[in-house]
Amino acid sequence: MVFDNRVYNFAPGPAMLPKEVLEEASQDILNWQGLGAGVMEVSHRSKAFMACYQKAIADLTDLMQVPSNYQILLLPGGAMGMNAAIPMNLMGLAKKDPQADFVVTGVWSAKSIKEAGKYGNARLAATSSAQQYTTVPQRNSWQLSADSAYVHICSNETVGGVEFDEPPDVGDVPLVADISSHMLSRVMDISKYGVLFGGIQKNIGPAGLTIVIVRKDLIGHAMPLTPTIWDWQVQAETDSMINTPPTFNIYFAGQVFEWIKQQGGVAAIELINQKKSQLLYDLLDKSSLYDARVDRRYRSRMNVTFYLQDESLQERFLAESQAAGLLGLKGHKSAGGLRASIYNAMPLAGVEQLVAFMKEFERRSA
Amino acid sequence: MVFDNRVYNFAPGPAMLPKEVLEEASQDILNWQGLGAGVMEVSHRSKAFMACYQKAIADLTDLMQVPSNYQILLLPGGAMGMNAAIPMNLMGLAKKDPQADFVVTGVWSAKSIKEAGKYGNARLAATSSAQQYTTVPQRNSWQLSADSAYVHICSNETVGGVEFDEPPDVGDVPLVADISSHMLSRVMDISKYGVLFGGIQKNIGPAGLTIVIVRKDLIGHAMPLTPTIWDWQVQAETDSMINTPPTFNIYFAGQVFEWIKQQGGVAAIELINQKKSQLLYDLLDKSSLYDARVDRRYRSRMNVTFYLQDESLQERFLAESQAAGLLGLKGHKSAGGLRASIYNAMPLAGVEQLVAFMKEFERRSA
């Protein structure tokens, strides 16, 4: 199998995937495990697929050190689907009427609070909107209610590039975190959370699968209007197969889990991710051309956002970077500017090449 | 690219896919259109992917002759997800309280009526449960209400192998049909329906994408509790990309649409499907070993269900058929017996081989 002219793809998701996993998948979609059928063609009830599913769950449990009182669910709908599914499953736990608290630090948590409002009282506990979503509001400013069913955060905002440096202490109320764009990029203490969830299309695999890790005592409280496919109790009892799951996405995620293990696990990957992001932030901090606006404490290791001081240079930056084989560097339309998404599958060499390009671009623009 | 020892896979879904499409996908996941990135790695907002999406929609419109007053939506959640999404989007159209009529002819329509009951009055208009789901209740026995928002049918029941021979006349009330397991297998007059929907994992591609074809005047009536990702109006306005869609599944479906066009289109595929199913039903009708129980008028061309008169032979049948490279012939656990799912991608040669095996098995079992 030959990769012709493979580029470094800094897109925010769908995003670059590990080359080794793509190479295996290229074969497995033709003939998987010598079955005479490709992996997409095999029944989800077959022995081969069930073993694949079980291994993926076991490897994810191992990689994220998921405690035994947590359940991993694989659901359809993406993080945006979960914005509805989570209040449906959890808001009924509130001591009084259905309600929950939201900390809004960017585009994604803003979507979450809006959607949750369909199912109960979704309260704004704190927001950094006045700071153009460049930071996380100080914990002591959060207006939390003891009546809430849960507190929702997005622990890495893909658009703004704002990442929580540690899980906030919210007391006994379950903490719910959207980890779509930094899942498996750093060690997380699962026990600090009630629910962690994320789409896989950023750091894991092809779009179309959502991973939900939920503390088991939070299962079984779904509102009557909850669609069966999102009822955590139903899905927990059926290996997330109350209907046909996206088998290829599950297979692929499993292969990526295996790949992460081969890289030394999440702690080892985290060191590389620190190094990759540091290379970029060091450059940005020394530059007079580029402008990094996110509060240093909350700079994302996955989505490095920056601006050109002279915005008229942006089109040239994008055209020249693309010509140099560095793709997907345009910022989200709501934020403008530039963004380098450097998920696990982005090699250190890709970041080094980007840094070299940016230095050279700055030299030529001086 | 070499297919080693490819088997004939009669599984009901995930199911056999066209060899030519798999071969192309095997390359495209490494490097798509010379972009230096695989198809799963490319942004859904990129020019390349948007062109792929637009072509898939245009080809499906062409293949199914979708009239211009219909909208094609690509949604997450499978047909089981749509069992919730459809009442959420349509029941508000009812003249009085939210309500709809259901005709139950098997496992899937039974699931649909149950789920819809969460969102309004889901009335049983007719059922063939007393006939063990081997037929469709006569149209003049259906108890329909003029107050209903819609009438729901499953026009091909995958488990029982029961297929409507034509769309029933339900007057001015919109007809909603789950066509998961026979979409694109036969010419359908879209104008007879308000909504057609189906998961793609049977007759089109990898599990994880749902196609919904909806008459445009039925869009815009979603209940307030409808999750954004299933709000037909929102998705119609955003090319079904209010969040990251399952790009690989969309790419693959588009490739299969292209493949169907190369086969001569749906009418040409329908002739082959008639021939394939007729080969099996002819054998079953002549046999004293096998027993076909579905009412002849409603025999499915996609899912041919049958039993062994002497059920003690079933294990041997399954073991020997598998050894002969004929996979996935076990019936659904709720129905027992045997089932050959012969979707578009099953070549005539595969059915001929199955027929030969079955004749030989009967001879040896006499």
Residues of chain B with CATH 3.90.1150.10: 265-365
Residues of chain B with CATH 3.40.640.10: 25-262
d(CA A183, CA A166): 14
Contact state of A38 with B17 under an 8 Å Cβ cutoff: yes
pLDDT at residue B2, as a whole number: 47
ipTM computed for the complex:
0.97
CATH class of B25-262: alpha beta
The answer to whether the predicted template modeling score (pTM) of the entire model surpasses 0.95 is yes
- Read off the pLDDT of residues A300-326 as tens digits, 9 standing for 90 and up: 999 999 999 999 999 999 999 999 999
Is A295 catalytic? The answer is no
- Read off the pLDDT of residues A107-152 as tens digits, 9 standing for 90 and up: 999 999 999 999 999 999 999 999 999 999 999 999 999 999 999 9
pLDDT at residue A366, as a whole number: 79
Interface test with B, best of A4, A5, A19, A29 (most B CBs within 10 A): A29
pLDDT at residue B95, as a whole number: 87
CA–CA distance from B328 to each of A34, A250, B124, B136, B222 (Å)?
A: 16, 21, 33, 26, 39
Interface test with B, best of A244, A318, A330 (most B CBs within 10 A): A244
Provide DSSP, A219-255.
SS---TT--GGG-HHHHHHTTT-SS---HHHHHHHHH
Contact state of B77 with A246 under an 8 Å Cβ cutoff: no
- Read off the pLDDT of residues A40-80 as tens digits, 9 standing for 90 and up: 999 999 999 999 999 999 999 999 999 999 999 999 999 99
**Residues of chain A found within 8 Å of residue B7, distances taken between Cβ atoms:** 35-37
CATH superfamily of A8-18+264-365: Aspartate Aminotransferase, domain 1 (3.90.1150.10)
- Read off the pLDDT of residues A223-240 as tens digits, 9 standing for 90 and up: 999 999 999 999 999 999
Is A32 catalytic? The answer is no
pLDDT at residue B44, as a whole number: 95
pLDDT at residue B1, as a whole number: 42
Residues of chain A with CATH 3.90.1150.10: 8-18+264-365
- Nearest Cβ partner for B30 among A3, A15, A46: A3
- Read off the pLDDT of residues A171-212 as tens digits, 9 standing for 90 and up: 999 999 999 999 999 999 999 999 999 999 999 999 999 999
Residue of chain B whose alpha carbon sits nearest to that of A346: B41
| Tokens, residue A192 | 């600090």
- Read off the pLDDT of residues B172-204 as tens digits, 9 standing for 90 and up: 999 999 999 999 999 999 999 999 999 999 999
CATH class of B265-365: alpha beta
pLDDT at residue B4, as a whole number: 57
Burial B113-134 (b: 16+ CB within 10 A, else e): bebbebbbbbbebbbbeebebb
**pLDDT beneath 50: ranges in chain B:** 1-2
Determine contact, residues A43/A49, Cβ cutoff 8 Å.
Answer: yes
